């Protein structure tokens, strides 16, 4: 009888832990991107560059790590740049700007001069991004998030 009570108590504890963790994971989908910017950009070749992006996040949920970020920046459906980024830990229940180191490679038929000309306009009008990333909790559980056609002009001043 005592053995069954211990097993029942253990099952109740596991169920409660999963419920609490599940609520935190559900809130991860409520995260809002508040700002996007570039801290610096360093060309590493005629087709690639290293950069540090500034990513403002409003996180109402638990702490987690963003990892395996991959994406494409487009200008009116024309692919400009493909990028990958490392990982960044995000604090629980915070509104903060995070630095995200990344590497970018120019898409085919896009030159560095094309990008410089677009940058000279100081406008992100017509620019969108597709981003795929993995969100991982401390427990190791995680999910992959996909964002399509994020309007980058909504983040510019």
What pTM, to 2 d.p., does this model score?
Answer: 0.72
pLDDT at 55 over 60: yes
Q: What is the pLDDT of residue 12?
A: 36
Residue, of 119 and 108, whose pLDDT is higher: 108
Domains of the chain: 30-155 (2.60.40)
Give 28's pLDDT tier (boundaries 50, 70, 90): low
Mean pLDDT of the chain, nearest integer = 79
Whole-Å CA distances, 2 to 10, 12, 17, 37 = 12, 15, 23, 60
């Amino acid at each position: 009888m005592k053995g069954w009570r211990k097993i029942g108590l253990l099952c109740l504890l596991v169920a409660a832990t999963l419920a609490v963790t599940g609520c935190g994971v559900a809130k991860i989908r409520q995260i809002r991107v508040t700002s996007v910017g570039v801290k610096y950009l360093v060309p590493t070749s005629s087709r690639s560059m290293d950069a540090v992006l500034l990513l403002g996040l409003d996180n109402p949920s638990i702490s987690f790590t963003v990892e395996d970020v991959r994406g494409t920046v487009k200008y009116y459906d024309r692919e400009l740049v493909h990028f990958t980024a490392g990982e960044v830990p995000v604090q629980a229940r915070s509104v903060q700007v995070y630095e995200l180191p990344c590497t970018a490679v120019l898409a085919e038929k896009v030159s560095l001069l094309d990008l410089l000309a677009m940058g000279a306009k100081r406008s992100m009008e017509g620019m969108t991004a597709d981003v795929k990333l993995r969100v991982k909790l401390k427990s190791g559980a995680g999910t992959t998030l996909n964002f399509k056609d994020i309007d980058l002009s909504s983040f510019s001043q």
